[in-house]
Amino acid sequence: MGPSLWTDGILPVLTCLLGAPMGSFAAFLADRLPRGEPVMFARSSCRGCGQVLRWWEMIPILSYVVLRGRCARCGDIIPPRLLQAELAGLALGVLAVWADLGLIGAMALWCLLALILADLVHYRLPNLLTGALLGLALIFATVSIAPVAPDMASLWRAALGASVGAGVFYAISWIYQVLRGRAGMGAGDIRLMGGIGALVVPASGWVGLAMVTLIAGLAGLALGLMRALRRGRALNARTPVPFGACLAMAAALIWVAANIHPGLFANP
């Protein structure tokens, strides 16, 4: 296929422009969904004074810099993680264009960002986000890898990846429950592994999926140690660790790497 205005001109620019607003939206969902607050038709408001934000107070990155990280009316501090999320969203949009992942691929990365934020802040992986990741991964496998015609073989691998990813984690959590008499892993982690399996397996095979869990396990251990040290306590099995955030980060890493270097992981 030759170059087209849509795929080589408009779409990359659109994906980059959407980056910061999508980062902002990811932070909004990560903050609201775990609290059970409405997200549809909800206007963003200040957590300090409750005032609905005006349009110029909602321009990603720019508003934060102009307002110096404070509410224009009450002076309450806007959480710096909002700016961090907007910058991360922008970086992921640029990364998606660079790695040629298309808009669906970019949306999968922004969805992973929202999951990371929700888990880091609230230790929650909202069903809406894990469901969206699975949906995006299945669409990506079907249309984005082979844009000429829907690729059913890739869709099948994605579905298999989702089943194995969620199935293995379900088995681990069941065994842990039997041995220790309490839940070691949340249902959110199991649902997340479904989406991650569907995303990673078509691009990087079972080796990629194993790498995701290995990297996430090591990152989770490091994060748990850091959080325990900060509280001045020893790390034990009850230390809360945002393992879902580690899984989502590792998945983004492996998935992007596998799309940039298709031969990086030996496919079965």
Choose the stretch contacting Zn ion; rule: CB under 5 A; options: 73-81, 99-107, 174-182, 211-219.
Answer: 73-81
Our finding on whether 54 is near Zn ion (CB under 5 A) is no
Cβ pair 176, 218 in contact under 8 A: no
Our finding on whether 166 is near Zn ion (CB under 5 A) is no
Residues that bind Zn ion (rule: CB under 5 A) add up to a total of 7
Give the nearer residue to Zn ion in terms of CB position, either 83 or 108.
83
Give the nearer residue to Zn ion in terms of CB position, either 73 or 122.
73
The 8 Å CB, 24+ separation contacts for 66-72 are: 71/46
Our finding on whether 69 is near Zn ion (CB under 5 A) is no
Our finding on whether 8 is near Zn ion (CB under 5 A) is no
Of 188, 189, 204, which Cα lies nearest the Cα of 252? 204
Residues in CB range of 219: below 8 A, 6 or more apart: 246, 249, 250
Residue of the chain from 10, 39, 42, 49 that contacts Zn ion (CB under 5 A): 49
Residue 97 Rama label (left phi>0; alpha psi -120 to 50; beta)? alpha
Our finding on whether 48 is near Zn ion (CB under 5 A) is yes
Choose the stretch contacting Zn ion; rule: CB under 5 A; options: 53-61, 66-74, 193-201, 258-266.
Answer: 66-74
Choose the stretch contacting Zn ion; rule: CB under 5 A; options: 38-46, 84-92, 129-137, 242-250.
Answer: 38-46
Choose the stretch contacting Zn ion; rule: CB under 5 A; options: 55-63, 68-76, 183-191, 252-260.
Answer: 68-76
104 CB-contact burial (10 Å; exposed 0-12 / middle 13-18 / buried 19+): middle
- Give the rounded distance of the alpha carbon of 70 from its chain centre: 27
Q: Which residue is listed with tokens 């990365």?
A: 109
| Closest distance to Zn ion from the beta carbon of 40 (Å) | 23
Cβ pair 266, 208 in contact under 8 A: no
| Closest distance to Zn ion from the beta carbon of 121 (Å) | 20
Give the nearer residue to Zn ion in terms of CB position, either 8 or 76.
76
| Closest distance to Zn ion from the beta carbon of 85 (Å) | 19
- Mapping DSSP to helix (H, G, I), strand (E, B) and coil, where does residue 77 land? strand
What CA–CA distance (Å, rounded) separates 267 from 206? 7
Residues in CB range of 123: below 8 A, 6 or more apart: 240, 242
Choose the stretch contacting Zn ion; rule: CB under 5 A; options: 47-55, 85-93, 184-192, 239-247.
Answer: 47-55
Stretch 195-234 residues interacting with Zn ion (CB under 5 A) = none
Instruction: Using CB under 5 A, list all residues that contact Zn ion.
Output: 46, 48-49, 71, 73-74, 76
